[in-house]
Structures are given as structure tokens and as C-alpha cells.
Structure 1
């Protein structure tokens, strides 16, 4: 099955005055990379969420945002750091006495002292973990639906492009004798130029060398391999399960390599046109494959 690595999902639910909102964003990545943004008290759910994600997604960069708001309770409380305030006041008195300074601390001064007031996060009760996890799962299901929908669009596009490439290969197969013939002519011309410098020619060896070199200009093997790669590509995008992106990327690289070899063997304009068209489609396929899980 073709699944895109790009997706977004969101779920927001409330229970007993507590609202939990979860957002999930997924983008392209070579491996599975999961990151969290949530209250520190929710980090205890990290391992459970990772196990769930691993059961649903094989590859991609996953960003999870969890926000919890409670109408009955504040999410944060402010507390004075008494020890630090005592030190500030003690040092202040010592400075006044030593340098005969006037003035005294007021409330505004104390509030502005660095570290005098501490903001603490209110711990979320463990009893809420199962509810929070259910919201996380709903957000992921929403995200997976988007990945699957985009995957269907990718499948349609890839199927169309791989069919165009197949037609290019069929055209090259029909033209392949041109490559061998023109390569043989080029070799003969070079050998004739060489023979001008010698008086003796071993006719049998000459013919054998021409045949051997001409075979190097044959694109039959490249066409056979391209057909095999096209078949493998089609089979892979129609698999029902598993991550297929890396395999498709490897296959398309091999197709690109075989196409380059054909282009290097021929100077025929018709073949060159087919090679250019194939390269164009292969590049487009390669770009699409980068987004497949």
C-alpha cells in the first residue's frame, strides 16, 4: 500500500472540566523520528505513545503536540523562593550599612528580583492517562487517514508515469538495432583510420574485433533490466502491507542508471528523444517516491 509520509491530525476532547488537545504532524524522513511537545508531567506517557506510533507508522518525522487545560484547576502556580528572597534582603541590608544608603525594598522590587518567584507546573493525575492516550490515538487516526488519502493520489500518479516509461522502453526496443548498427559503423571508421598506418590485416581477427566491439553497443541487456525494474516497481506499489519507499527509491535509481547507459551508447536522434523523455519521467517519479513511507 502506498502511504504518504506527509500528514496532519488533530483531536480535542473534554472530561470533568479538563480539555485535552493533541496535534500530530508528519513529514518526510529517512527513518522514524518522534518528538514531543507537552507538559513535563506528560512525559511519562512518552514510551507508551512511541509504542503506539511504531505500531502504526514505519517511517517519517513525527511531531506530537499535547496541550491540557483544566477549568477547575490552574495549570501553573506561582511560589515565592523564600531562601533566595531572604538572601537578597540580607545583602541589601549589608549594602545599606556599609555605604550609608537610603531606601527599602517594596513589593514591586521583590517581584522583579531574578528567581524570587518560581512558576511550577501542576502535575496531571495519572488517572487521566488513559483519557489522554485516547485523544492521542484519535489524532493519529486522523493523521493516518490523510497519509492514506495522499498515498492514493501518489499511487495514481506513479502508475501513470511508470506506464509512460514502459512505453519509452518499448520504443527503445524497437529502435535497438539502430544503436548496434551505428556503433558498428563508428568502430569500422576508426579501424579504417588505424589501418591506413599498416600494410598487413588479419581479416578474421578484424571481423571478430568488430563483432565484439559492436556487441558493446547493443542495448538489449539494458532494455531487459529496465523491463524487470518496471515490473518490480509496479509490484511494489501494489503491495498491501509494509513500508515501500526505500525499495522504490532503489529501483528508480537503477532505472536511471540503465537509461544513462543507453544514452551513452547511442547518438541516434530518435533514441536520444526517448532517453530524454524517460529521464524526465524518472526524475518526476523519484521526487514522488521521496514522500512515500
Structure 2
């Protein structure tokens, strides 16, 4: 969900500049910083952004600077100025004086200088919308590239967890057999007779307590679901959040059932990997 983009454009009325940046957020939160004359387009901008962005705290700022002489600039009426100077020269000749006219007084003569009104911002509004679309294209492309890198990272973590699951699958029957061997050795050491039916019952109960086949099966199913989710052409962040919770649940159950150091180590490694994945999932829309 993190991303950044910037787009600039020079047009006859001035320079436009968009800057978009986003950070992680559970939902979509849009914040626009616009010059006052562009406030009227905020709803259209928000609708456009909502169509392209699903999650994240997004800040979109627009800067607009008018060119010199465009916004309320001073303009000299050369015809009026020539007429005023001609009149000054005529009067100076009649008064027989050679004093040059004061420029400030000439400029103060009515009609010599005029102040242009501020230009219509209709064209800048249209340009600002078009530029925002370009910035949004760059912004989403940046986030897509980051998403591909995150996807590869998650797949690598899933592969690492799959290796750990296979280790547990191999180790689990050995743990059950070792427990039964220790029980028989203890009975022999005590020199007591045990009803075979009773021994079988205890072995069955122990096997049930130590059985992790269901947890391993669900972990495998969740792995498949995560991989399928990563290739969907839609927002998948919330679904991945849920799947990380389910993976963590199974890893915790596996750890609680473990009666073996190797299986416990595998369960702990799984939880470490899941936490790494959960941190990355926060970046996914």
C-alpha cells in the first residue's frame, strides 16, 4: 500500500504539480491538499482515486503557480502613453522648459497603466484533472511493482514453511513410536503386568494427543489458498490478513501438541515466518 508519484505540467496559465504518497492503513483514507481555486474538483478527484486504490492512507497534493504577468499583471497602454508624452512635449515647448517628465507621474496618468483581471481557471482545472490521472497511473504502477516483489517474498516464505511441515510429517510417527517404546520400557522396569487392552487404550489416547495430521493438513490447505489469493486480479490484503491468522492458529496448536524438541523447533520457526509474512501483508492492498 505504500507508494509515491509526482507529475508536473507547464501550461499557458502556469505550472501544475501533483504529488501522491501513501502509507499502510487498514482501510482507504484519502486526503487532498488543493489550492482554493481547485476545491470544486475534489469530489471528482476522490471518485477517480477510489476506482484505482483500495487500501492505504493516501495524500494527494496539488501545487499551482501562475506565470509572471498572467495573474493580475500590470500592462502599459502604449498608445495612451505616446499620447501623454506628446502632450507633455507640446506643453514643455510652449513653456520653454527642457525638464524631462517624471516617469512615476506619467504612469499615474489615467489609462496609461491598466491591471489585468485574474484569468479564468477553467483550463487549469481540466489540465489538473488530466495531470492527476497521469500521476495516478504512475502511482498505481509503482505500487504494482512493489506488490510483485512482496508476492515473491511471500511465496519464498510459504516454501520455507512447506519444508518445515514435511519435517514434522516425517517426525510425528517417530515421536509416537518413541513414546510407546518408553512406556513399554517403563512397564518392564517396574516389573508389573499390564492388561494388553489397557495398554492399547493408553497408546490410543497418547496417539490422539500427539496426532498433528489435522493441523498439518490445514496448513497445507492454507498454503494453497494463500498462493491462489496472490494471483487474483483484485484487492487481496484483507483476505491475506485472515489467512495469516489461520496459519498462526495452526502453528500454535502444533506447538502445544508437540512432545518433541525437533517438532517444537519447527513450530517456532513456522510462527517466526508467519510473523514475517504478516508484516508484509500489511503492505498489500
Q: Taking structure 2 as the reference length, what is the TM-score of the superposition?
A: 0.74
- 2:263 corresponds to 1:267: no
Give the secondary structure class of the aligned counterpart of 1:176: helix
- 2:240 corresponds to 1:248: yes
Give the secondary structure class of the aligned counterpart of 1:267: coil
Give the superposed CA RMSD.
Answer: 2.9
- 2:219 corresponds to 1:231: no
User: Which of 139, 142, 146 is matched with 2:138 structurally?
Assistant: 142
User: Which of 47, 59, 62 is matched with 1:63 structurally?
Assistant: 59
Asked if the contact 1:12/1:22 (under 8 Å) is kept, the reply is yes
Give the secondary structure class of the aligned counterpart of 1:66: strand
Q: Distance in 1 between matches of 2:207 and 2:64?
A: 73
Give the secondary structure class of the aligned counterpart of 1:143: helix
Asked if the contact 1:183/1:217 (under 8 Å) is kept, the reply is no
Q: Taking structure 1 as the reference length, what is the TM-score of the superposition?
A: 0.72
- 2:42 corresponds to 1:46: yes
User: Computing the radius of gyration over CA atoms, which structure comes out larger, 1 or 2?
Assistant: 2
Cα deviation for residue 148 of structure 1 reads: 1.1
Q: Distance in 2 between matches of 1:61 and 1:168?
A: 36
User: Which of 254, 273, 281 is matched with 1:281 structurally?
Assistant: 273
Q: Distance in 1 between matches of 2:231 and 2:24?
A: 21
- 2:147 corresponds to 1:151: yes
Decide whether aligned partners of structure 1 residues 38 and 181 sit closer, same or farther in structure 2, where only a CA change above 3 A counts. same
Give the secondary structure class of the aligned counterpart of 1:164: helix
Give the secondary structure class of the aligned counterpart of 2:9: strand
User: Which of 7, 24, 33 is matched with 2:29 structurally?
Assistant: 33
Q: Distance in 2 between matches of 1:190 and 1:251?
A: 43
Cα deviation for residue 143 of structure 1 reads: 1.2
Q: Distance in 2 between matches of 1:269 and 1:57?
A: 46
Decide whether aligned partners of structure 1 residues 123 and 286 sit closer, same or farther in structure 2, where only a CA change above 3 A counts. farther
Q: Distance in 2 between matches of 1:59 and 1:51?
A: 14
Cα deviation for residue 279 of structure 1 reads: 1.7
User: Which of 164, 169, 174 is matched with 2:165 structurally?
Assistant: 169
Asked if the contact 2:16/2:65 (under 8 Å) is kept, the reply is yes
Decide whether aligned partners of structure 1 residues 139 and 186 sit closer, same or farther in structure 2, where only a CA change above 3 A counts. farther
Give the secondary structure class of the aligned counterpart of 1:243: coil
Decide whether aligned partners of structure 1 residues 142 and 233 sit closer, same or farther in structure 2, where only a CA change above 3 A counts. same
Q: What does residue 95 of structure 1 align with?
A: none
Decide whether aligned partners of structure 1 residues 144 and 214 sit closer, same or farther in structure 2, where only a CA change above 3 A counts. same
Give the secondary structure class of the aligned counterpart of 2:259: coil
- Give the unaligned 5+ runs of structure 1: 77-121
- 2:214 corresponds to 1:221: yes
- Give the unaligned 5+ runs of structure 2: 73-117
